[in-house]
A and B are shown apart, each in its own frame.
Chain A
Amino acid sequence: MHELSIALSIVDAACEELSRQPHSRVSAVHLRLGPLSGVVKDALTFSYDLACAGTPLQGSELRIEDVPIRIYCDRCDADAEPVSMQAMRCPKCGTPAARTVQGTELQVAALELCEMGAPA
Chain B
Amino acid sequence: MSPTRLVEVRQNVLNKNDLAARALRQRFEEAGVCAISMVSSPGSGKTALLERILTTMRERYRVAALVGDLATENDASRLARSLAPVRQIQTGTICHLDASMVGCALEGWRLEEIDFLFLENVGNLVCPASYDLGENARMVLLSVTEGEDKPLKYPTIFHSADAAIITKIDLAEAVEFDRTLAHGNIQAVRPGIRILEVSAKTGCGIEHLLEWISERRLHVD
Contact of B130 among A13, A38, A88 (CB under 8 A): A38
Interface residues of A (CB under 8 A from B): 1-2, 5-6, 9-10, 13-14, 17, 21, 27-28, 30-31, 35-39, 85-89, 96-98, 100, 106-117
Given A5-B94, A9-B16, A108-B11; A86-B126 close (CB under 8 Å) = no
Contact of A35 among B94, B152, B156 (CB under 8 A): B156
Contact of B191 among A2, A21, A97, A110 (CB under 8 A): A97
25 A-B contact pairs sorted by A residue (CB < 8 Å):
A1-B126, A2-B96, A2-B127, A6-B130, A13-B11, A13-B15, A17-B9, A36-B156, A37-B130, A38-B130, A85-B155, A86-B152, A87-B188, A88-B159, A88-B189, A96-B187, A98-B191, A98-B192, A106-B12, A107-B11, A107-B13, A110-B6, A110-B7, A114-B2, A114-B3
CA distance A78 to B67 in the complex (A): 41
CA distance A64 to B191 in the complex (A): 29
Interface residues of B (CB under 8 A from A): 1-16, 94-96, 126-127, 129-130, 152, 155-157, 159-160, 185, 187-192
CA distance A85 to B187 in the complex (A): 12
- Most B Cβ at <10 Å: residue of A9, A17, A112, A116: A9
* Chain B residues, CB < 8 A from A96: 187-188, 191-192
| Least distance between B7 CB and chain A CB atoms (Å) | 5
CA distance A97 to B189 in the complex (A): 9
Contact of B188 among A17, A37, A86 (CB under 8 A): A86
CA distance A48 to B157 in the complex (A): 24
Contact of B9 among A39, A100, A110 (CB under 8 A): A110
Instruction: Tell me how many residue pairs across A and B have CB atoms closer than 8 Å.
Output: 111
Report yes or no: A10 in contact with B13, Cβ–Cβ below 8 A. Answer: yes
Given A1-B95, A35-B156; A13-B4 close (CB under 8 Å) = no
CA distance A35 to B152 in the complex (A): 14
Report yes or no: B189 in contact with A111, Cβ–Cβ below 8 A. Answer: no
CA distance A65 to B20 in the complex (A): 27
CA distance A13 to B8 in the complex (A): 12
**Shortest Cβ distance from B193 into A: residue:** A98
**Shortest Cβ distance from B17 into A: residue:** A9
Report yes or no: A38 in contact with B192, Cβ–Cβ below 8 A. Answer: no
Report yes or no: A108 in contact with B192, Cβ–Cβ below 8 A. Answer: no
CA distance A6 to B94 in the complex (A): 12
The 6 closest A-B pairs by CB, nearest first: A96-B191, A38-B129, A38-B130, A98-B192, A2-B127, A85-B155
Given A5-B94, A87-B188, A115-B2; A38-B13 close (CB under 8 Å) = no
Report yes or no: A89 in contact with B14, Cβ–Cβ below 8 A. Answer: no
CA distance A112 to B7 in the complex (A): 6
